[in-house]
Amino acid sequence: MKNILLKIFVLLFVITACSSEPPSIRVLNRRTNKANVQIKTANNNTININDVGSNQTTPYQEIEEGYHKATATLQSESASPFIYFTTIKNRKYTIVVLDGAVPSLRIDDDGEK
């Protein structure tokens, strides 16, 4: 009986440990003006996250694993900062539109899902 329970426990552990979810991304805008963020994905798809208000954070959304480019268009500003980043399965990321004299972006790895 103990042997059967042990095997069931090990099987459940292996199934749980091997589960794989796509990465997730969100945007946090630290600037005073609205931001629109366009993400060119590894598969040449485009994700648009628009009208992110000052100090607003969007919900997470799934993105494919790989190498991406994020570009921000900022209301009433001519600069369009961009950043390249890589995502991997089972991780969450935040694109941060930084406040400062020169607009810039940062990618935060928010950890496992």
pTM for the full predicted model: 0.83
**Residue (of 95, 103, 100) closest to 73 by Cα position:** 103
Residue 14 lies in a domain: no
| pLDDT classification of 113: cutoffs 50, 70, 90 | confident
Looking at the structure of the chain, the number of domains it has is 1
pLDDT in tens, 54-76: 999 999 999 999 999 999 999 99
Give the tokens for residue 19. Answer: 């589960």
The answer to whether 63 and 43 are in contact (CB under 8 A) is no
Q: Which domain holds residue 53?
A: 21-112
Residue 83 lies in a domain: yes
Residue 105 lies in a domain: yes
Residue 7 lies in a domain: no
Residue 12 lies in a domain: no
% the chain with pLDDT above 90? 81
Residue 100 lies in a domain: yes
Query: Which CATH number do you get for residue 73?
Result: 2.60.40.2890
CA–CA distance from 35 to each of 20, 28, 29, 76, 88 (Å)? Answer: 31, 9, 7, 10, 25
